[in-house]
Amino acid sequence: MSNKLKVGIVQHSNSSDVTENTNKTVAEIKNAAAQGAKLIVLQELHRSLYFCQTEDTELFDLAETIPGSSTELYGELAKELNVVIVTSLFEKRATGLYHNTAVVLDTDGSIAGKYRKMHIPDDPGFYEKFYFTPGDLGFEPIQTSVGKLGVLVCWDQWFPEAARLMAMAGAELLIYPTAIGWDPRDDKDEQIRQRDAWIISQRAHAVANGVPVISVNRVGHEADPSGQSEGIQFWGNSFVAGPQGEMLLHADEKKEQTLTVEIDQARSESVRRIWPYLRDRRIEHYGDLQKIYRD
């Protein structure tokens, strides 16, 4: 039994020119499709610079409706190339109400579904709570022509509950569009610890749920517009892991890369038969997970 799927990831740097960024993204989607990819995943907020380094009301102008110009563009591209595309957009739901939203375009150009980022960080250089309302669509996989996709976004990747709920709802893949990097002032050892923790946590989601994980990050340095910090050095390292956490593809730390890899979705069935975590869960004893903390 085999169910092969070729996955493409697009890892690139960004500038302040939205048109330039979009042209780069479109070109690399076509590149991935030419390599045979049927599922192509983009990085978080790929249209612009990572604008959350500062709090600036003018930056809400970057937001767009869904459906809108980007979903129209990527829908037409998905249909033309006969691929599924996972995008990441700054959604304007209403005036004063915005989300960090992943949208999946199917091979017929339609919007197969969307996911609004649930966990919203608020840290120096990552002031996302200023811009994004937490998602309200829950952890629901999106059915597409290439399978049932458990799409999450960046900060969600640190939460095992999110991955588990997607897997419990039937997700065949876990997908994380991401924008994460170092503070250039951190020493090398701290940078390595942070990067390794990021990779380990997501590979653990693959292991614990018996499904592949696709994580796509950006690269390059983006300055802090306020000048209060040295900006963010995005660390790349986009990767695809198999259902036992094995690395199937691992991108460079600094280079812009469009890479593809074939995954065998049938392996999840085999892995879950020998590591039946879902069978052995003791849900009657997990009630305290609904508490913030056990005092």
Nearest Cα neighbor of 278 from 288, 268, 291 is: 268
**Average pLDDT rounded to a whole number, residues 24-28:** 98
Mean pLDDT over 227-253 rounds to: 97
The stretch 246-250 carries a mean pLDDT of: 98
DSSP letters, 48-104, are S--GGGS--GGGGGG-B-SSSHHHHHHHHHHHHHT-EEEEEEEEEEETTEEEEEEEE
Cα 55 to Cα 201: distance, rounded to the nearest angstrom: 29
Q: Which of 28, 38, 128, 154 is catalytic?
A: 154
Domain 4-280 falls under CATH 2.40.50.140 = no
The first and second tokens of residue 97, run together, are: 């109400």
Res. 1: pLDDT tops 90? no
The yes-or-no answer on residue 52 being catalytic is no
- Put simply, whether the predicted model's pTM sits higher than 0.85 gets the answer yes
Mean pLDDT, rounded, of the chain: 97
Tell me whether residue 154 is one of the annotated catalytic residues: yes
pLDDT of residue 105: 98
Q: Where are the domains of the chain?
A: 4-280
- What pLDDT score was predicted for residue 175? 98
Q: Which neighbouring-strand residues pair with 97?
A: 94
Return the percent helix, strand and coil in the chain, to nearest 5: 35, 30, 40
Looking at 6, 28, 38, 44, which residue is catalytic? Answer: 44
Distance CA 251, CA 271 (A): 25
Express each pLDDT in 211-226 by its tens digit. 999 999 999 999 999 9
Q: What is the pLDDT of residues 104-145, one digit of tens each?
A: 999 999 999 999 999 999 999 999 999 999 999 999 999 999
Give the pLDDT band (50/70/90) at residue 2. Answer: low
Which residue in 117, 128, 172, 222 is the catalytic one?
Answer: 117
Mean pLDDT, to the nearest integer, of 139-165?
97
Mean local confidence (pLDDT), 276-283: 95
Q: How many residues does the chain have?
A: 295
**Confidence (pLDDT) at 258:** 98
Residue 135: what pLDDT?
98
